[in-house]
Amino acid sequence: MSTTDGPLAGKTVIDLTTALAGPYATLLLASLGARVIKVENPARGGDSSRNNSPYVTADGLQMRRTGPDDMSVSMMARGRGKESVTLNLKHPESRSVFFDLVRHADIVVENYSAGVTRRLGIDYAAVQQVNPRIVYTSISGFGAQGVSGEGKAMDTIIQALSGVMMTAGEPGDAPIRFGLPIGDLVAPLFAVIGTLAAVMDAEATGEGQHVDVSMLGSLTSLVACEPFDALESVGFPLRTGAVVPRLAPFGTFQSADGWFAICAPTDQFAEGTLAAMDNGHLADDPRFSSRDARVSHADALHGMIAEWAATRSSAEVLSALERNGVPAAPVRDTATAVRDDIVTSRREVVPLVHPRFGHFEGLYGSGLPVVFSRSSADLSRPAPGLGEHTRDVLAELLGYDEERVEALRRDGVL
Protein backbone atom coordinates (compact mmCIF):
# COMPACT_ATOMS: atom_id res chain seq x y z
CA MET A 1 0.00 0.00 0.00
CA SER A 2 1.38 3.41 -0.95
CA THR A 3 1.01 6.61 1.07
CA THR A 4 1.28 10.26 0.18
CA ASP A 5 3.01 11.00 3.49
CA GLY A 6 6.77 11.24 3.82
CA PRO A 7 8.48 8.91 6.29
CA LEU A 8 9.03 11.81 8.73
CA ALA A 9 5.39 12.95 8.68
CA GLY A 10 4.37 14.01 12.18
CA LYS A 11 7.88 15.17 13.13
CA THR A 12 8.50 18.88 13.70
CA VAL A 13 11.86 20.54 13.13
CA ILE A 14 12.87 23.95 14.48
CA ASP A 15 15.33 25.28 11.92
CA LEU A 16 17.84 27.83 13.25
CA THR A 17 20.13 27.55 10.25
CA THR A 18 21.41 30.00 7.66
CA ALA A 19 23.58 30.01 4.50
CA LEU A 20 24.01 26.51 2.97
CA ALA A 21 25.19 23.66 5.20
CA GLY A 22 22.39 23.95 7.77
CA PRO A 23 19.59 24.82 5.35
CA TYR A 24 20.51 21.87 3.14
CA ALA A 25 20.14 19.53 6.13
CA THR A 26 16.69 20.90 6.97
CA LEU A 27 15.75 20.84 3.28
CA LEU A 28 16.37 17.09 3.30
CA LEU A 29 14.29 16.68 6.46
CA ALA A 30 11.47 18.67 4.83
CA SER A 31 11.64 16.50 1.72
CA LEU A 32 11.19 13.45 3.95
CA GLY A 33 7.91 14.85 5.27
CA ALA A 34 8.92 16.67 8.45
CA ARG A 35 7.32 19.99 9.29
CA VAL A 36 10.22 22.46 9.21
CA ILE A 37 9.68 25.79 10.97
CA LYS A 38 12.46 28.11 9.92
CA VAL A 39 13.30 30.74 12.54
CA GLU A 40 14.77 33.87 10.94
CA ASN A 41 16.14 37.07 12.45
CA PRO A 42 14.00 39.99 11.22
CA ALA A 43 16.67 42.52 12.18
CA ARG A 44 19.09 41.01 9.64
CA GLY A 45 16.67 40.32 6.83
CA GLY A 46 16.41 36.65 7.66
CA ASP A 47 18.58 33.87 6.27
CA SER A 48 21.71 35.30 4.64
CA SER A 49 20.94 33.37 1.46
CA ARG A 50 17.91 35.63 0.91
CA ASN A 51 20.45 38.27 -0.15
CA ASN A 52 22.46 36.13 -2.56
CA SER A 53 22.36 37.37 -6.14
CA PRO A 54 20.83 36.48 -8.59
CA TYR A 55 17.11 36.99 -7.94
CA VAL A 56 13.98 35.79 -9.69
CA THR A 57 11.81 38.78 -10.54
CA ALA A 58 8.62 39.27 -12.52
CA ASP A 59 10.87 39.83 -15.56
CA GLY A 60 13.02 36.78 -15.00
CA LEU A 61 16.50 36.35 -13.57
CA GLN A 62 18.21 39.60 -12.49
CA MET A 63 21.44 40.44 -10.68
CA ARG A 64 19.61 42.92 -8.39
CA ARG A 65 16.24 43.04 -6.67
CA THR A 66 13.61 45.06 -8.50
CA GLY A 67 10.62 44.60 -6.17
CA PRO A 68 9.48 43.26 -2.78
CA ASP A 69 8.38 39.89 -4.19
CA ASP A 70 11.77 39.12 -5.75
CA MET A 71 13.52 36.11 -4.25
CA SER A 72 17.08 34.88 -4.51
CA VAL A 73 17.68 31.64 -6.35
CA SER A 74 19.55 30.44 -3.26
CA MET A 75 16.46 30.85 -1.07
CA MET A 76 14.21 29.34 -3.74
CA ALA A 77 16.40 26.23 -3.65
CA ARG A 78 17.10 25.95 0.09
CA GLY A 79 13.82 27.22 1.54
CA ARG A 80 11.46 24.82 -0.20
CA GLY A 81 8.97 22.95 1.95
CA LYS A 82 9.59 25.16 5.00
CA GLU A 83 7.56 27.66 7.04
CA SER A 84 9.18 30.97 7.98
CA VAL A 85 8.80 32.55 11.42
CA THR A 86 10.62 35.71 12.44
CA LEU A 87 12.14 35.76 15.92
CA ASN A 88 14.94 37.98 17.19
CA LEU A 89 16.80 35.56 19.42
CA LYS A 90 18.91 38.38 20.86
CA HIS A 91 15.79 39.90 22.42
CA PRO A 92 15.42 38.69 26.04
CA GLU A 93 11.72 37.91 25.55
CA SER A 94 12.42 35.71 22.54
CA ARG A 95 13.53 32.71 24.59
CA SER A 96 10.05 32.06 25.97
CA VAL A 97 8.69 31.94 22.40
CA PHE A 98 11.55 29.73 21.27
CA PHE A 99 11.07 27.34 24.18
CA ASP A 100 7.35 27.14 23.39
CA LEU A 101 8.33 26.04 19.87
CA VAL A 102 10.75 23.50 21.33
CA ARG A 103 7.97 21.96 23.44
CA HIS A 104 6.14 21.10 20.22
CA ALA A 105 9.23 19.89 18.34
CA ASP A 106 11.16 16.69 17.85
CA ILE A 107 14.32 18.16 16.32
CA VAL A 108 16.29 21.40 16.47
CA VAL A 109 18.97 22.07 13.85
CA GLU A 110 21.44 24.96 14.17
CA ASN A 111 24.64 26.00 12.44
CA TYR A 112 25.82 28.92 14.52
CA SER A 113 29.50 29.33 15.27
CA ALA A 114 30.61 27.38 18.33
CA GLY A 115 29.47 29.03 21.57
CA VAL A 116 26.78 31.29 20.09
CA THR A 117 23.78 29.21 21.17
CA ARG A 118 25.15 29.06 24.72
CA ARG A 119 25.47 32.85 24.80
CA LEU A 120 21.90 33.17 23.52
CA GLY A 121 20.67 30.70 26.14
CA ILE A 122 19.31 28.26 23.55
CA ASP A 123 22.01 25.58 23.53
CA TYR A 124 21.34 21.87 23.99
CA ALA A 125 21.63 22.07 27.78
CA ALA A 126 18.89 24.73 27.91
CA VAL A 127 16.67 23.05 25.34
CA GLN A 128 16.92 19.64 27.00
CA GLN A 129 15.45 21.12 30.18
CA VAL A 130 12.37 22.14 28.20
CA ASN A 131 12.01 18.97 26.11
CA PRO A 132 14.09 15.95 27.22
CA ARG A 133 13.16 14.05 24.04
CA ILE A 134 14.57 16.70 21.69
CA VAL A 135 17.25 15.79 19.17
CA TYR A 136 19.48 18.85 18.90
CA THR A 137 21.75 18.85 15.85
CA SER A 138 24.67 21.25 15.51
CA ILE A 139 26.54 21.75 12.24
CA SER A 140 29.70 23.82 12.57
CA GLY A 141 33.08 24.20 10.95
CA PHE A 142 35.15 22.44 13.58
CA GLY A 143 32.71 20.91 16.05
CA ALA A 144 30.52 22.36 18.76
CA GLN A 145 33.54 22.75 21.04
CA GLY A 146 35.08 25.20 18.59
CA VAL A 147 38.76 25.90 17.96
CA SER A 148 41.16 28.56 19.14
CA GLY A 149 41.01 31.88 17.29
CA GLU A 150 38.20 32.94 15.00
CA GLY A 151 37.73 29.53 13.36
CA LYS A 152 35.60 30.84 10.49
CA ALA A 153 34.09 27.93 8.57
CA MET A 154 33.73 28.86 4.93
CA ASP A 155 33.58 26.07 2.37
CA THR A 156 36.88 27.03 0.74
CA ILE A 157 38.59 27.12 4.15
CA ILE A 158 37.30 23.64 4.91
CA GLN A 159 38.40 22.35 1.50
CA ALA A 160 41.87 23.79 2.11
CA LEU A 161 42.21 22.23 5.57
CA SER A 162 40.78 18.83 4.62
CA GLY A 163 43.43 18.00 2.02
CA VAL A 164 40.88 17.54 -0.73
CA MET A 165 42.38 20.39 -2.79
CA MET A 166 45.52 18.30 -3.22
CA THR A 167 43.74 15.22 -4.56
CA ALA A 168 42.82 16.69 -7.96
CA GLY A 169 44.95 18.00 -10.79
CA GLU A 170 48.37 17.03 -12.06
CA PRO A 171 51.48 16.72 -9.88
CA GLY A 172 52.89 20.20 -9.31
CA ASP A 173 49.62 21.98 -10.09
CA ALA A 174 48.34 24.68 -7.77
CA PRO A 175 45.69 23.48 -5.28
CA ILE A 176 42.32 22.96 -6.95
CA ARG A 177 39.17 24.21 -5.26
CA PHE A 178 36.19 22.04 -6.14
CA GLY A 179 33.55 24.13 -7.90
CA LEU A 180 30.81 22.33 -5.98
CA PRO A 181 30.86 23.50 -2.32
CA ILE A 182 31.49 20.00 -1.07
CA GLY A 183 32.37 21.03 2.49
CA ASP A 184 29.00 22.74 2.81
CA LEU A 185 27.18 19.76 1.30
CA VAL A 186 28.86 16.75 2.90
CA ALA A 187 28.39 17.91 6.50
CA PRO A 188 24.57 18.15 6.24
CA LEU A 189 24.41 14.63 4.85
CA PHE A 190 26.16 13.30 7.95
CA ALA A 191 24.01 15.60 10.09
CA VAL A 192 20.82 14.10 8.69
CA ILE A 193 22.15 10.56 9.21
CA GLY A 194 22.99 11.39 12.81
CA THR A 195 19.68 13.16 13.37
CA LEU A 196 17.60 10.26 12.10
CA ALA A 197 19.60 7.78 14.19
CA ALA A 198 19.08 9.94 17.29
CA VAL A 199 15.34 10.25 16.57
CA MET A 200 15.08 6.46 16.41
CA ASP A 201 16.96 6.20 19.69
CA ALA A 202 14.71 8.83 21.30
CA GLU A 203 11.64 6.89 20.26
CA ALA A 204 13.06 3.79 21.93
CA THR A 205 14.44 5.41 25.09
CA GLY A 206 12.39 8.57 25.52
CA GLU A 207 15.60 10.59 25.71
CA GLY A 208 17.03 12.91 23.08
CA GLN A 209 20.65 13.87 22.57
CA HIS A 210 23.05 16.35 20.99
CA VAL A 211 24.22 15.46 17.47
CA ASP A 212 27.47 17.32 16.76
CA VAL A 213 28.77 17.37 13.15
CA SER A 214 31.74 19.35 11.87
CA MET A 215 32.36 20.37 8.27
CA LEU A 216 36.08 19.70 8.59
CA GLY A 217 35.57 16.24 10.07
CA SER A 218 32.95 15.31 7.49
CA LEU A 219 35.08 16.23 4.50
CA THR A 220 38.36 14.93 5.94
CA SER A 221 36.70 11.60 6.72
CA LEU A 222 35.95 11.24 3.01
CA VAL A 223 39.53 12.14 2.09
CA ALA A 224 40.63 9.39 4.49
CA CYS A 225 38.54 6.84 2.55
CA GLU A 226 41.49 6.66 0.15
CA PRO A 227 44.84 5.69 1.76
CA PHE A 228 46.79 8.40 -0.06
CA ASP A 229 49.88 8.13 2.15
CA ALA A 230 50.11 4.38 1.60
CA LEU A 231 49.60 4.74 -2.14
CA GLU A 232 52.37 7.32 -2.36
CA SER A 233 54.71 5.08 -0.39
CA VAL A 234 54.55 2.42 -3.10
CA GLY A 235 54.98 4.82 -5.97
CA PHE A 236 51.47 6.00 -6.90
CA PRO A 237 51.33 9.78 -7.19
CA LEU A 238 48.84 11.61 -5.00
CA ARG A 239 47.61 13.73 -7.90
CA THR A 240 47.07 11.90 -11.16
CA GLY A 241 45.10 14.40 -13.23
CA ALA A 242 42.73 12.98 -15.83
CA VAL A 243 43.66 9.32 -15.31
CA VAL A 244 44.00 6.89 -12.41
CA PRO A 245 47.08 4.77 -13.14
CA ARG A 246 46.41 2.22 -10.41
CA LEU A 247 43.12 1.33 -12.13
CA ALA A 248 44.21 1.34 -15.78
CA PRO A 249 42.46 1.90 -18.08
CA PHE A 250 40.60 4.50 -16.05
CA GLY A 251 40.04 8.24 -16.45
CA THR A 252 38.89 10.98 -18.79
CA PHE A 253 40.15 11.43 -22.33
CA GLN A 254 39.65 13.97 -25.10
CA SER A 255 38.01 13.14 -28.40
CA ALA A 256 38.01 15.34 -31.50
CA ASP A 257 34.93 17.21 -30.21
CA GLY A 258 34.69 16.69 -26.47
CA TRP A 259 35.62 14.57 -23.47
CA PHE A 260 34.61 11.11 -22.31
CA ALA A 261 35.26 8.88 -19.31
CA ILE A 262 36.30 5.22 -19.16
CA CYS A 263 36.20 2.96 -16.10
CA ALA A 264 37.62 -0.36 -17.32
CA PRO A 265 40.10 -1.83 -14.81
CA THR A 266 38.95 -5.47 -15.01
CA ASP A 267 40.33 -7.95 -17.53
CA GLN A 268 37.00 -8.14 -19.38
CA PHE A 269 36.60 -4.37 -19.67
CA ALA A 270 40.24 -3.85 -20.60
CA GLU A 271 39.95 -6.43 -23.38
CA GLY A 272 36.86 -4.60 -24.61
CA THR A 273 38.75 -1.30 -24.66
CA LEU A 274 41.54 -2.82 -26.75
CA ALA A 275 39.00 -4.41 -29.10
CA ALA A 276 37.20 -1.08 -29.54
CA MET A 277 40.48 0.38 -30.77
CA ASP A 278 40.98 -2.58 -33.16
CA ASN A 279 43.85 -3.75 -30.98
CA GLY A 280 42.20 -6.84 -29.58
CA HIS A 281 45.37 -8.85 -30.15
CA LEU A 282 47.07 -6.82 -27.41
CA ALA A 283 44.93 -8.55 -24.80
CA ASP A 284 47.58 -11.28 -24.81
CA ASP A 285 50.45 -8.78 -24.65
CA PRO A 286 52.27 -9.28 -21.31
CA ARG A 287 51.98 -5.51 -20.69
CA PHE A 288 48.18 -5.61 -20.74
CA SER A 289 47.12 -9.20 -20.04
CA SER A 290 46.57 -8.77 -16.28
CA ARG A 291 45.43 -6.05 -13.93
CA ASP A 292 48.83 -5.63 -12.29
CA ALA A 293 50.56 -5.54 -15.67
CA ARG A 294 48.24 -2.82 -16.93
CA VAL A 295 48.91 -0.75 -13.82
CA SER A 296 52.66 -1.09 -14.43
CA HIS A 297 52.18 0.07 -18.03
CA ALA A 298 49.36 2.55 -17.42
CA ASP A 299 51.12 5.39 -19.22
CA ALA A 300 51.44 3.35 -22.41
CA LEU A 301 47.85 2.13 -22.26
CA HIS A 302 46.38 5.55 -21.52
CA GLY A 303 48.54 7.11 -24.21
CA MET A 304 47.18 4.59 -26.71
CA ILE A 305 43.60 5.49 -25.79
CA ALA A 306 44.31 9.23 -26.02
CA GLU A 307 45.90 8.89 -29.46
CA TRP A 308 43.04 6.73 -30.77
CA ALA A 309 40.32 9.08 -29.48
CA ALA A 310 41.94 12.34 -30.57
CA THR A 311 40.95 11.89 -34.24
CA ARG A 312 37.45 10.57 -33.63
CA SER A 313 34.21 12.18 -32.49
CA SER A 314 32.86 11.40 -29.03
CA ALA A 315 29.89 9.64 -30.64
CA GLU A 316 32.23 7.38 -32.62
CA VAL A 317 34.43 6.66 -29.62
CA LEU A 318 31.52 5.91 -27.27
CA SER A 319 29.78 3.76 -29.88
CA ALA A 320 32.88 1.60 -30.27
CA LEU A 321 33.34 1.26 -26.53
CA GLU A 322 29.66 0.46 -25.98
CA ARG A 323 29.70 -2.26 -28.67
CA ASN A 324 32.51 -3.92 -26.75
CA GLY A 325 30.87 -3.69 -23.35
CA VAL A 326 33.16 -1.02 -21.89
CA PRO A 327 31.75 1.29 -19.17
CA ALA A 328 32.11 4.75 -20.73
CA ALA A 329 30.17 8.01 -20.88
CA PRO A 330 30.44 11.53 -22.25
CA VAL A 331 31.57 14.27 -19.87
CA ARG A 332 28.48 16.47 -19.81
CA ASP A 333 28.09 20.10 -18.85
CA THR A 334 25.83 20.93 -15.90
CA ALA A 335 23.00 22.27 -18.07
CA THR A 336 22.75 18.95 -19.91
CA ALA A 337 23.14 16.87 -16.76
CA VAL A 338 20.29 18.48 -14.80
CA ARG A 339 17.90 18.03 -17.73
CA ASP A 340 18.53 14.30 -18.07
CA ASP A 341 15.21 12.45 -18.24
CA ILE A 342 16.59 9.79 -15.90
CA VAL A 343 17.08 12.20 -12.98
CA THR A 344 14.09 14.45 -13.70
CA SER A 345 11.65 11.54 -14.01
CA ARG A 346 12.81 10.24 -10.62
CA ARG A 347 12.56 13.80 -9.23
CA GLU A 348 16.20 13.74 -8.18
CA VAL A 349 16.40 17.11 -9.92
CA VAL A 350 13.29 19.30 -9.97
CA PRO A 351 12.33 22.71 -11.37
CA LEU A 352 12.60 25.65 -8.96
CA VAL A 353 9.34 27.56 -8.61
CA HIS A 354 8.91 31.12 -7.38
CA PRO A 355 5.82 31.43 -5.13
CA ARG A 356 4.41 34.25 -7.29
CA PHE A 357 6.25 34.21 -10.60
CA GLY A 358 6.38 30.45 -11.19
CA HIS A 359 9.17 28.59 -12.97
CA PHE A 360 11.66 30.17 -15.35
CA GLU A 361 13.39 27.87 -17.82
CA GLY A 362 16.87 26.93 -16.72
CA LEU A 363 16.19 27.05 -12.98
CA TYR A 364 16.56 23.62 -11.40
CA GLY A 365 17.26 22.47 -7.87
CA SER A 366 18.12 19.29 -6.08
CA GLY A 367 15.32 16.91 -5.27
CA LEU A 368 15.65 14.03 -2.83
CA PRO A 369 17.71 11.35 -4.61
CA VAL A 370 15.85 8.57 -2.81
CA VAL A 371 12.81 6.77 -4.22
CA PHE A 372 10.62 4.96 -1.70
CA SER A 373 8.40 2.01 -2.57
CA ARG A 374 5.66 3.13 -0.18
CA SER A 375 6.37 6.60 1.18
CA SER A 376 6.66 9.83 -0.75
CA ALA A 377 9.30 12.55 -0.88
CA ASP A 378 8.27 16.03 -1.89
CA LEU A 379 9.86 19.45 -2.35
CA SER A 380 7.15 21.01 -4.48
CA ARG A 381 6.11 23.68 -1.96
CA PRO A 382 7.95 26.93 -2.82
CA ALA A 383 10.22 28.71 -0.38
CA PRO A 384 8.38 31.10 1.97
CA GLY A 385 8.66 34.85 2.23
CA LEU A 386 10.42 36.17 5.32
CA GLY A 387 8.10 35.67 8.30
CA GLU A 388 5.26 34.45 6.09
CA HIS A 389 4.04 31.91 8.67
CA THR A 390 4.78 33.78 11.91
CA ARG A 391 1.18 34.54 12.79
CA ASP A 392 -0.12 31.08 11.82
CA VAL A 393 2.55 29.17 13.75
CA LEU A 394 2.22 31.26 16.89
CA ALA A 395 -1.57 31.15 16.82
CA GLU A 396 -2.24 27.59 15.66
CA LEU A 397 0.75 25.68 17.07
CA LEU A 398 1.42 27.68 20.23
CA GLY A 399 -2.08 29.04 20.91
CA TYR A 400 -1.03 32.70 21.14
CA ASP A 401 -3.92 35.13 20.75
CA GLU A 402 -3.83 38.09 18.37
CA GLU A 403 -3.11 40.57 21.14
CA ARG A 404 -0.01 38.67 22.30
CA VAL A 405 1.34 38.30 18.76
CA GLU A 406 0.95 42.01 18.11
CA ALA A 407 2.60 42.88 21.43
CA LEU A 408 5.59 40.69 20.56
CA ARG A 409 5.81 42.37 17.18
CA ARG A 410 5.69 45.87 18.69
CA ASP A 411 8.40 44.98 21.18
CA GLY A 412 10.76 43.80 18.43
CA VAL A 413 10.65 40.14 19.42
CA LEU A 414 9.17 39.09 16.05
Closest CA to 247 of 267, 274, 229, 221: 267
Which distant-in-sequence residues (6+ apart) come within 8 Å of 12 by Cβ?
34, 35, 37, 104, 105, 106, 107
Burial bucket for residue 375 (CB in 10 Å: 0-12, 13-18, 19+): middle
Element (H, E) at 263: strand 259-263
Which of 182, 398, 252 is closest to 408 using CA atoms? 398
**Spatial separation of the C-alpha atoms in residues 29 and 223, rounded to whole Å:** 26
Alpha-carbon dihedral sign for residues 10, 102, 126, 136: positive
Element (H, E) at 155: helix 155-162
Yes or no: say if 359 and 351 are a contact pair by the CB < 8 Å rule: yes
Task: For residue 216, report the phi and psi dihedrals to the nearest 5 degrees.
Answer: -65, -45
Is 184 catalytic? The answer is: yes
Cis peptide before 249 (omega within 30 of 0): yes
Residue tagged active-site, from 106, 184, 212, 378: 184
Distance between CA 6 and CA 381 in Å, rounded?
14
Half-sphere exposure of 173 (CA within 13 A, CB side): 16
Which residues are annotated as catalytic? Answer: 184
